[in-house]
Structure 1
């Protein structure tokens, strides 16, 4: 058997590793469920559906109702769906399908609501919510009423409804998304102003529309936290903008929160693993017997280093998939992106602290002292990471967090978990990757050079 695989099995199947992995996974699932229970559980099922529709409903004096609408998925792309117009008694008075562009027009008499069906999804919207006003107007036989109907999942980036218009921004990637606008006026001009977290305007754009429901591509200014809708000469109320879909904030919070204890304590298991696989052998003198066989120092060092790293990678993947799978069961949606980011975070953290302890073992003769110093460094680094942003300017804190930080890729993955884009990011991804690799490779080489010259 390959020696790396053999040592990996011995390290990963170590009772302490398996027990703590199971314990932390169980605790992580519990934390995730608490977050889910407090923020997501009570949302209606349609919040998770990959089907949305908006429309403008018109009521005529003779009792006829007409709806112009648009059916789309969570990224704003059109869907071909079946639309039924139903009376108060449940009778279908009219039926149609949205076209390949997602648009539909349906008309019927004395209808109360419409039902939109796509795949296994079925949602409805009432079209007589202002029945009292409608009856009064119909009795006068002089005017019609017009209002907006919709049923939208929570996978939007921005949502604003003011009675006369509904604006939804969804499917944002690299700061470009789709603006879906439903308006009681079939033409007009819309002014969007973008604000950062300090409520300072960072840009604006004008959207000219002609149609009751229109779809436009829109570029969001980097750093946008709020958007206001208004006319060309005025701005409206500011509404929060999410760089990732709204519901994913809650889901990602649950996934990230689930890993809090794992990130806080499992690196200590990796430090202990370096102690058991390497430090103790050097301290006890057993290393002399091992390398007296046809085994070079380089082979021994690389085998023990790699097998421990593989254990960290495997535990990080298993933990992340367990948490992601739990949320998949709870909300019928697997948060693939944030799970991937979580895997990267955990691999970054576990690998660094394993290599750090591995390297120190070559400079400190006592295995117990190496274990204690490694654990102390772990807590010191975590504390410094937490308090520096409080006392330092943001730009300095960003440089330390994304470049100097020995787990810089973890910081990058954490940022992406809530932004889903590198546009406007306060770091250069290439430099962050190089910085992380420099720490991992540098410490590994330093430890090997010392081990090679060590008098055993």
Structure 2
């Protein structure tokens, strides 16, 4: 077996490398999963109860009714509702159709009622609502409320309610959705209708408007038409809040989450695998594992560097592959090929740079302890705490943060450490930086960042320290 292939197999089968690769891939997948779940998670407010109430007058009594439902239009259990009318308060009781009702002696002089709704969302909550009564109108009739579709909460449906005499169900009517705002003439409603559904014999029913997404994005009003008369209307706005996922949003999620994790773990993999496979042998003078055939110093350092670099490439590539599969499941698209290639390249460069630094340091110190301390120091300063160091230096520079001079200085600081290279590469790709206002973009060329300069920084970090280590290995030993 050739030395390089032997060293690659040796590194990829070592417990430390396997554990780090599993950690990088597993945690990257977990973060991609978290992004997918949190982005598509149902809003908590959809579980908060809502109320639509009405009344009907029956001779000398008046019955107050309310339907309590969640954001999907489903009947809400566990809430307490008290009606107050003419100074009398009664706790509402649930009827067979799911309405909460209470009956009071009717007084033609009383023009309103109120209700208190008590429920618990993390903590007890009580809401008090005042509602009008028209003593000349014997019952409320139809009412509408927009609710979210349970299968796709970004789409809205219409909850149709009917508060009829004696609690009876509704007569025949039409639910019309129009892009006109409450026109006074029925002909205007009918001529502008985008959706029409027949309603008959209901007390509460959810109607799902089947409409093109383009129409759901218009400003809409819902009307109930009965006996050729508009008896109820409500402005509902858009029937869809759906915003399609875009490449830029998706890349932003990955950059904010997964890249942070890999940027944290990759230097650990690089620094300690370099120490264990080359640096320790170099400082102790004992080569723990070699082939029987002769191997030169340049061949030894080259094959071990290649084996360490292979482990880094495998870790980043597998992490991206797993993240891509999870992203595709939740968002319905893959990250673009250019972003994927950039992502792999920038973290391979970061890992190669930390590898090279440890290889170089192993030729500058004389003991195993000194090498281990220096390797840990490189990781802590140039990896773990580098972003904090950059922030402190930029703060002390007193350069105005809204100037190109500040951006140039910030990028120059990032270029000093291999852990800053991903920031430079992402800036070249997206034209945005975390230090900029969230929506701000800036042309990389205006601060000296071009494709050539980005590649030069990456290649310099990945190659130059290793070439120096190779020179020392061949010439000094």
> Shared topology, TM-score over 0.5?
yes
**Alignment partner, residue 268 of structure 1:** 268
**Alignment partner, residue 211 of structure 2:** 115
Q: Give the 3 Å change call, closer, same or farther, for CA 409–38 of structure 1 in structure 2.
A: same
Q: Is the aligned partner of 1:429 residue 2:451?
A: yes
Q: Secondary structure at the match of 1:131?
A: strand
Contact preservation (8 Å) 1:408, 1:436: no
Q: Give the 3 Å change call, closer, same or farther, for CA 261–370 of structure 1 in structure 2.
A: same
C-alpha distance in structure 2 between counterparts of 1:419 and 1:41, whole Å:
30
Structure 1 unmatched ranges of 5 or more: 50-54, 69-84, 91-110, 157-170, 173-243
**Alignment partner, residue 442 of structure 1:** 464
1:384-428 CA-partner distances (Å, limit 9, x unpaired):
332323414323433324544434531134436765899623533
Q: Secondary structure at the match of 1:129?
A: strand
Q: Give the deviation of 1:114 after TM superposition.
A: 4.2
Q: Secondary structure at the match of 1:87?
A: strand
C-alpha distance in structure 2 between counterparts of 1:137 and 1:89, whole Å:
14
**Alignment partner, residue 253 of structure 2:** 253
Q: Give the 3 Å change call, closer, same or farther, for CA 127–286 of structure 1 in structure 2.
A: closer
- Which residues of 2 match residues 326-341 of structure 1 at below 5 A? 326-336=326-336, 339-341=340-342
C-alpha distance in structure 2 between counterparts of 1:113 and 1:155, whole Å:
20
- Which residues of 2 match residues 76-155 of structure 1 at below 5 A? 87-88=197-198, 113-116=209-212, 129-131=221-223, 151=240, 153-155=242-244
Greater Rg over alpha carbons, structure: 2
- TM-score (ref. length: structure 1): 0.56
Q: Is the aligned partner of 1:359 residue 2:363?
A: no
- Which residues of 2 match residues 367-386 of structure 1 at below 5 A? 367-382=368-383, 383-386=385-388
**Alignment partner, residue 395 of structure 1:** 407
Q: Give the deviation of 1:333 after TM superposition.
A: 3.7
C-alpha distance in structure 2 between counterparts of 1:424 and 1:344, whole Å:
22
Q: Give the deviation of 1:336 after TM superposition.
A: 4.3
Q: Give the 3 Å change call, closer, same or farther, for CA 280–349 of structure 1 in structure 2.
A: same
Q: Secondary structure at the match of 1:64?
A: helix
1:56-102 CA-partner distances (Å, limit 9, x unpaired):
9458843534579xxxxxxxxxxxxxxxx553469xxxxxxxxxxxx
Contact preservation (8 Å) 2:220, 2:235: no
Q: Secondary structure at the match of 2:211?
A: strand
Which deviates the most, 35-44 or 373-382?
35-44
C-alpha distance in structure 1 between counterparts of 2:413 and 2:351, whole Å:
17
Which deviates the most, 414-423 or 372-381?
414-423
- TM-score (ref. length: structure 2): 0.54
Q: Give the 3 Å change call, closer, same or farther, for CA 127–438 of structure 1 in structure 2.
A: closer
Q: Secondary structure at the match of 2:365?
A: coil
C-alpha distance in structure 2 between counterparts of 1:322 and 1:289, whole Å:
33
Count the aligned residue pairs: 316
Task: Quote the RMSD (CA, aligned, Å).
Answer: 4.5
**Alignment partner, residue 423 of structure 2:** 411
Contact preservation (8 Å) 1:361, 1:370: yes
**Alignment partner, residue 238 of structure 1:** none
